[in-house]
Amino acid sequence: MISVLIPAHNESGVLRECLDAVTAQTLPVDEIVVVADSCTDDTVAVAKSYGAVVVETEQGGKAASQDVGLSYVNGDVLICIDADTIIAVDAVEKLVGELEAGADATCANMLPMPQQRGFWVANRRFAYALGRYWWRWCQAEVGRLMVLSGCAYALRTETVRSIGGFPGKLITCDMDLTWSLYRAGYKTSFCHTALAYTYDPETFKVYTKQMRRWASGFFQNFQAHRGHVVKSPAALLVVGSLLLDLLMLPVTYAFVVLLAVHDPGRLRWLVLSIAVHGVITTFIASRTITWKQAIVGFPCYWIANWWNKAIYFWTFIREWILGRHYASWTGRQGRATVVAPMSRRRKIGLITAAAAAALVVADWHAAAADISLPDTVILLLAIAAAAAFSLSFHCTPRYLTLTSCISTAVAGGLALNRVPVDAVWWFALTALTVGVVGAVLAYLGEDTQIGHQGGAAYSSAARLPPLARMNAMP
Give residues in contact with another protein (CB under 8 A). Answer: 127-128, 130-131, 134-139, 141-142, 145-147, 172, 175, 211, 214-215, 217-218, 237-238, 240-246, 248, 252, 277, 301, 305, 308-309, 312
Residue 445 contacts residue 398 (beta carbons within 8 Å): yes
Q: If we measure between CA atoms, which residue out of 8, 13, 92 comes closest to residue 54?
A: 8
Which is closer to another protein, CB of 128 or CB of 389?
128
* SS3 state at 329: coil
Q: How far is Cα 133 from Cα 122, in angstroms, rounded to an integer?
A: 17
Spell out the residues 6+ positions from residue 57 whose beta carbon is closer than 8 angstroms to its own: 35, 36, 37, 38, 65, 68
Which candidate, 17, 122, 34, places its Cα nearest to that of 72? 34
Q: What is the DSSP string of 68-114?
A: HHHTT---SEEEEE-TTEEE-TTHHHHHHHHHHTT-SEEEEEEEE-T
The CA-atom distances, in angstroms, between 400 and each of 2, 348, 409, 441, 454 are: 60, 21, 14, 13, 17
Report the nearest approach of another protein to the CB of residue 371 (Å). 40
Q: Please, what is the minimum distance in Å from the beta carbon of residue 245 to another protein? A: 3
Distance CA 249, CA 257 (A): 12
| Least Å from the CB of residue 296 to another protein | 17
Rounded to a whole number of angstroms, the minimum distance from the CB of residue 97 to another protein is 19
* Residues 6+ positions from 189 with CB-CB distance below 8 Å: 98, 101, 103, 105, 106, 140, 145
Pick from 459, 463, 433: nearest CA to 448: 459
Nearest CB to another protein, comparing residues 281 and 392: 281
Q: At closest approach, how far in Å is the CB of 8 from another protein?
A: 23
The residue (of 9 and 212) whose beta carbon lies closer to another protein is 212
Which CB atom, from 215 or from 386, has the smaller least distance to another protein? 215
- Distance between start and end Cα atoms, the chain: 42
Strand partners, 338: 328
Nearest approach, Cβ of 248 to another protein (angstroms)?
A: 6
Nearest to 238, CA basis, from 301, 188, 274: 188
Closer of 177 and 336 to another protein (Cβ): 177
Residue 86 or 145 with smaller CB distance to another protein: 145
If the CB atoms of residues 252 and 290 are measured against another protein, the closer one turns out to be 252
- What's the min distance (Å) between Cβ of 438 and another protein? 40
Q: Are 82 and 35 in contact (CB under 8 A)?
A: no
* Least distance from another protein to the Cβ atom of residue 308, Å: 5
Pairing of strands 326-328, 338-339: antiparallel
Q: Which is nearer to another protein, 135 or 320 (CB)?
A: 135
Residues 6+ apart with CB under 8 A from 400: none
- Between 259 and 355, CB nearer to another protein: 259
Nearer to another protein, 131 or 412 (CB): 131
Cα–Cα dist 185/99, whole Å: 15
Taking the complex as a whole, the smallest distance from the CB of residue 66 to another protein amounts, in Å, to 20
Query: Minimum Å distance from CB 302 to another protein?
Result: 9
